[in-house]
Amino acid sequence: MSMPVPLFAAVGTIHGCPINVIRRRNAYFKVSSSMDHHNLSKVKSNSLRVLEWDKLCHSVASFARTSLGRQATKAQLWSLDQTFQESLRLLQETNAAILMHNHDSFNLDLTSVDLALVESAIKHARRGLPLDANEAMALLSLLQFVEALQLSLKAAIKQDSDWYKQFMPLSEMITQLVVNRSIIKLIQQVIDEDGSVKDSASSALKKARDQVRTLERKLHQLMDKLIRNETKEAALMVASSVGGRWCISSGTDQPTGFKGLLLSSGSGSIIEPLAAVPLNDELQQARALVAKAEADVLLMVTEKIQMDLDDIEKSLRTAIQLDMIYARATYSLSYGGTYPNIFLPEDIDGPLMAEPYRSKDKTSQASNPKKEWIFYLPKAYHPLLLQQHREKLSTARKNVRSAAAEIRRRKMQAENMAVKGEAEIDLSSLQKQVRALEEAPPVPVDFFISQKTRVLVITGPNTGGKTICLKTIGLAAMMAKSGLHVLSSESAKVPWFDCVFADIGDEQSLSQSLSTFSGHLKQISEIQSQSTRRSLVLLDEVGAGTNPLEGAALGMSLLESFARSGALLTIATTHHGELKTLKYSNDAFENACMEFDEENFKPTYKILWGVPGRSNAINIAERLGVPSSIVDNARELYGAASAEIDEVIMDMETYKQKFQELIKESRHYLTMSRGLHEKLLVSRRKLQDLGTQQRYKKMRELSEAAAVARSTLHKKLKMSCRVPI
């Protein structure tokens, strides 16, 4: 749905800027939220929905510190309308924010600044209306935030001028802002920290407030005197303010000893004593004078602000943008994201690779992956699964702490042993849950797709992780395009896709009376018509939902069509064995399968590259105790040829596993050799330093000995040449 937002809203990227904040005076306007699909084609919005991109947008936006920042972050991420150059800039912004965070002297956290109130202040100033005190304090907080950022940047540049380049483009954004110190001083002089106008703000205000305090003191004294004079009902009477006028409330309707105006009666009465009427009238007038004096002070502040309104407005736009960047950066830091090297597919060997600015502490450096890969994503996590696991683990640990605290409380209260035992058993169970979660984190997957591959076919058992793999790679592509770090190890290399299309899940179009199979075909047909040579297409269980032979034939034809003239890269999962053979007749195809642990009868959720999956149903049935006659008959029906193919696949899997083990072992030895090499270099350096020190020491000792010898020789010469008197 669309939601109204006041005055400012992020609406995508224009002219290389990752967000443009549009201002409209005296009006509200609408911007697409994370749930607004109207600006996208139906097939694109369906693709984002099945990939759960809206959930990821919400997750990232939750790291923003202001309501306007969260709203703008959702809008910018959901739009996915960035050009390649805009994606580069977004990534550079995210990287610069991470560098600032690691520098320790910068604070991009806008929690203390109420940008919505600043927005309201600008709106009032544009209309010529006086700000209220809270709006002025919010504006003060924004100006102080910008000033602190500029001072931190100047200090860093003074320490090392290279930091300006390291923090680009944020350094440019920050230095371009203008802060008028006189506005800061004025607001501090006239408004207190609690948001009230100070007495010292004007002489008229001080005089009016003094008058209010004097009148209130007189009224309190009068009320106390009248209540004390009531001998019978004094205990049930109390002075109170009703509509700004001081009265006496009585718990009964009995007549009082003083004359007054009856304002309310029933279970009790509220009376304004006649003696208090003139004072109450004066108090009302004095309060009106206070309100006018406060308004005059705030109008003075408003007039001062109006002279710098454009600069203040620019500061607000930049603050919203910085909050968006802060959200992307802190999300990456929280989940261990990696700066992705993005590139245009046609410039894969050219200079348009996105490179992070190099940090002296090497925290953001990313080595260039091998050029033969078009998609290089080692140890990639599905961001939503990782988030879900962390939340469950956090909840489980919190439950353990709560249970432990409850046990300590009961022990301190010396409760009976039976209750204590129950609490300890519960704690043990909770601790087991924590250990189980710690020992079963989400499994990362490796994506190594070569340049020549146009279609990747992934096979494997149900619940083996095929769909998760599709979603992981789709989300990674969109994250890189949106300026987010991807959740993988170093050296990630991701093509820039103009759009990510997906057909995933058992979706039915009830409104169009379409079956599951028909719904998938319609979605795939629309994907094929809208995808370009820069698109990523993800197809789950292609050809499923109909007769297996027809489904396999249709699946083969669809994938061959995508390979010929479709998207840049198509990744499809399937159970159809016929689709595995496409690789051997077309170099544009590649096979991969989800590994299955037959000993434990469960998937490992790891991808085996270059290996087609094989059927495990008959072997699993045999392991599960299905009668041998049924198993043997199934093997005969399955066919000797198919069995031989499965044997070849098994040999390939075994070879692949051994090869991976050898690679792992070689990497281990390579790491050890590098470590030994580093130690040898350090030892050689120490030996060289020690030798130099020894030589200097010997030279110093020889020099000192020579000096002593010369001194002794001079003394002896003087003694021998001395003539006795």
Q: How confident is the model at residue 264 (pLDDT cuts 50, 70, 90)?
A: low
Does some domain include residue 261?
A: yes
* Chain segment 673-705, per-residue pLDDT in tens: 988 988 898 888 888 888 888 888 888 888 888
**Residue 97, in any domain of the structure:** yes
At 26 the pLDDT is 32
| Phi and psi angles of residue 17, each rounded to the nearest 5 degrees, phi first | -90, 130
Q: Nearest CA to 143 among 188, 101, 98, 103?
A: 188
Residue 422 has pLDDT above 70, yes or no: no
472 and 549 share one domain: yes
Between CA 646 and CA 653 the distance in angstroms is: 10
652: its two tokens: 């390939």
Q: Are 499 and 535 in contact (CB under 8 A)?
A: yes
Shared domain check, 538 and 463: yes
pLDDT for 322: 95
**pLDDT score at 473:** 93
DSSP structure string for 572-623: EEES-GGGGGGGGT-TTEEEEEEEEETTTTEEEEEEEET------HHHHHHH
Residue with tokens 């994250």: 479
Q: Tell me the pLDDT of the chain averaged across its residues.
A: 79
CATH number at residue 84: 1.10.1420
Per DSSP, the three-state class of 98 is helix
240 with 142, same domain: the answer is no
Name which residue leads in pLDDT, 694 or 422: 694
Residue 147 has pLDDT above 70, yes or no: yes
**AA identity, residue 188:** Q
Q: Please compute the mean of the pLDDT values over residues 322-327 and round it to a whole number.
A: 95
| d(C-alpha 64, C-alpha 70), whole Å | 5
239 shares a domain with 132: no
- The enclosing domain of 481 has a CATH number of 3.40.50.300
Question: Rounded to the nearest 10 degrees, how much is the dihedral formed by the CA atoms of 157, 158, 159, 160?
Answer: 50
Residue 655: predicted pLDDT: 73
Separation CA 330–CA 57 (nearest Å): 14
Q: Which residues of 287-320 are buried (b: 16+ CB within 10 A; e: fewer)?
A: bebbeebbebbbeebbeebeebeebbbbbbbbbb
The pLDDT > 90 percentage for the chain reads 23
Question: Using one digit for the tens of pLDDT, what is the confidence trace for 511-521?
Answer: 344 456 777 78
Looking at 234, 262, 289, the residue that finishes a domain is 289
Residues 188, 172: Cα–Cα separation, whole Å: 28
Cα→Cα distances 701→690, 691, 696, 698, Å: 16, 15, 9, 5
CA dist 476 and 192 (Å) reads 48
* 3-state secondary structure string across 230-283: CCCCHHHEEEEEECCEEEEEECCCCCCCCCEEEEECCCCEEEEEHHHHHHHHHH
The pLDDT of residue 321: 94
Report the predicted TM-score, pTM, of the whole model to 2 decimal places. Answer: 0.74
Same domain, 404 and 529: no
pLDDT band for position 614 (cuts 50, 70, 90) = low
pLDDT given at position 367:
41
Angle at 83 between CA 80 and CA 89, to 5 degrees: 95
Contact 323, 65 (CB under 8 A): yes
Give the CA count within 13 Å in the CB-facing half-sphere of 88: 13
Name the pLDDT band for 37 (thresholds 50, 70, 90): very low
Domain end (from 260, 289, 318): 289
Pairing of strands 245-250, 260-264: unpaired
In a domain, 135, yes or no: yes
When pLDDT is cut at 50, 70 and 90, the band that residue 2 belongs to is very low
Q: Are residues 468 and 555 in the same domain?
A: yes
- Kindly state the average pLDDT of the residues 225-229: 77
Are 162 and 209 members of one domain? no
The pLDDT of residue 62? 94
- Total domain count, the chain: 4
Q: Give the separation between CA 447 and CA 359, rounded to whole angstroms.
A: 27
**Structural domain contains residue 240:** yes
**Residues 312-332, mean pLDDT to the nearest whole number:** 94
Regarding whether 121 and 264 lie in a shared domain, the answer is no
Window from 141-155, 578-592, 595-609 with minimum mean pLDDT: 595-609
Task: Say yes or no to pLDDT of 718 above 70.
Answer: yes
105 DSSP β-pair partners? none
Instruction: Give the pair of three-digit tokens for residue 163.
Output: 């930091």
The model's confidence at residue 230, banded by pLDDT at 50, 70 and 90, is low
Tell me the β-bridge partners of 191: 197
- Between 509 and 405, residue with greater pLDDT: 405
77 and 170 fall within a common domain: yes
In a domain, residue 195? The reply is: no
Q: What is the rounded average pLDDT of the residues 648-660?
A: 69
123 SS3 class: helix
The percent of residues in the chain predicted with pLDDT above 70, rounded, is 79
Q: How confident is the model at residue 61 (pLDDT cuts 50, 70, 90)?
A: very high
Q: What is the full DSSP assignment across 45-97?
A: HHHHHHTTHHHHHHHHHTT-SSHHHHHHHHHHHHH----HHHHHHHHHHHHHH
CATH number at residue 261: 1.10.1420.10
User: What is the token pair recorded at 198?
Assistant: 């100070």
pLDDT at position 128 over 70: yes
What is d(CA 592, CA 579) in angstroms, rounded to the nearest whole number?
11
Q: Are residues 76 and 175 in the same domain?
A: yes
What pLDDT, on a 0 to 100 scale, did the predictor assign at position 565?
79
How sure is the predictor about 452, in pLDDT bands with cuts at 50, 70 and 90?
confident
From first CA to last CA, the distance across the chain in angstroms is 120
Q: Token digits for 514?
A: 């379409």
- Is residue 257 a contact partner of residue 227, using CB atoms and an 8 Å limit? no
**Exposure letters 123-153 (e unless 16+ CB within 10 A, then b):** bbbeeeebbbbbbbbbbbbbbbbbeebeebb
| 482 and 404 share one domain | no
Work out the burial of residue 486: count CB atoms within 10 Å of its CB; fewer than 13 is exposed, 13-18 middle, 19 or more buried.
Answer: buried
> Is the residue at 376 inside a domain?
no
Which token pair is 93? Answer: 């912004």
What's the pLDDT at 486?
94
Phi/psi region, residue 179 (left: phi>0; alpha: psi -120 to 50; beta: rest), is beta
What's the distance, CA 366 to chain centroid? 20
DSSP 352-396: ----PPPPTT-SS--PPPPTTEEEEEEEE--HHHHHHHHHHHHHH
- For residue 284, is it within any domain? yes
What's the mean pLDDT in 636-658? 65
Q: Which domain holds residue 489?
A: 445-613
Residue 49 lies in a domain: yes
Contacts of 136 (CB under 8 A, 6+ apart): 121, 187, 191, 298, 301
Q: Are residues 137 and 156 in the same domain?
A: yes
What are φ and ψ of residue 638, in 5° steps?
Answer: -65, -35
Contact predicate 587/450, CB 8 Å: no
Residue 470 has φ and ψ, to the nearest 5°, of -60, -45
